Amino acid sequence: MELRTVGVSGRKKDEDEDDDDDDINEKINNIINEKINIINENKKEKNKKNEKKKKKKNKKNKKNKSNEEQEERRRTSKKNEREEEEREEQREEEEREEEERRTRTKKKKNETRKKKNEKKKKNKKKIEKKKKNNNKKKNKKKNNNNKQTR
C-alpha cells in the first residue's frame, strides 16, 4: 500500500480511497459529459428550429416579394391600360375635331360657291335686262325712225 498526499488537507490516502476517488471522478466526468452532450443536443435542436424559421421566413419573404411584384405588374398594367384608353380618347377627340373642321370648311366653300353663283345669276339677269332694255330702245328708235321716214 502506497500512500499519496492529495487535496488541501494534506492527509494521506491509501489505494482504496484512491480507487474510490477515481470512480467518483469518472462519474463526475460522465455527468459533465452528459450535460455537455445535452447542451450540444439542445444547441443542435435550436439551430435546426432557427434554420426552419429562417427558411420559412425566406419562403414567406419570397412569396411576399412575388406578390408585391405581381401587384406592381398589375398596377403597371392597369396604368398602361388607362393611359392607352386616354390616348385612344384623345385620338378620337382629335378625329372628331378634324372632321368638324373639314365639315365647316366644306360648308364655307359651299356657301361661297353658292354666293358666287347667285351673284353670277344676278349679273347675268342684269345683263339680260340691260340687253332687253337696249333692244327695246333700239327697236323704239327704229320704229320712230321708220315712222318719220314714212
For residues 13 and 6, is the Cβ–Cβ distance under 8 A?
Answer: yes
- Compute the distance between CA of residue 15 and CA of residue 4 in angstroms, rounded to an integer: 9
pLDDT tens by residue, 71-109: 999 999 999 999 999 999 999 999 999 999 999 999 999
Better-predicted residue by pLDDT, 126 or 7: 126
Percent of the chain surpassing pLDDT 70: 87
Report the pLDDT averaged over residues 34-45: 97
> How far apart, in Å, are the Cα atoms of 135 and each of 37, 141, 149, 150?
143, 10, 20, 22
pLDDT tens by residue, 18-34: 677 888 999 999 999 99
Cell of 75: 398596377
pLDDT of residue 11: 53
Q: What residue spans define the domains of the chain?
A: 13-149
Residue 13 has pLDDT above 50, yes or no: yes
pTM: 0.40
Report the pLDDT averaged over residues 123-135: 89
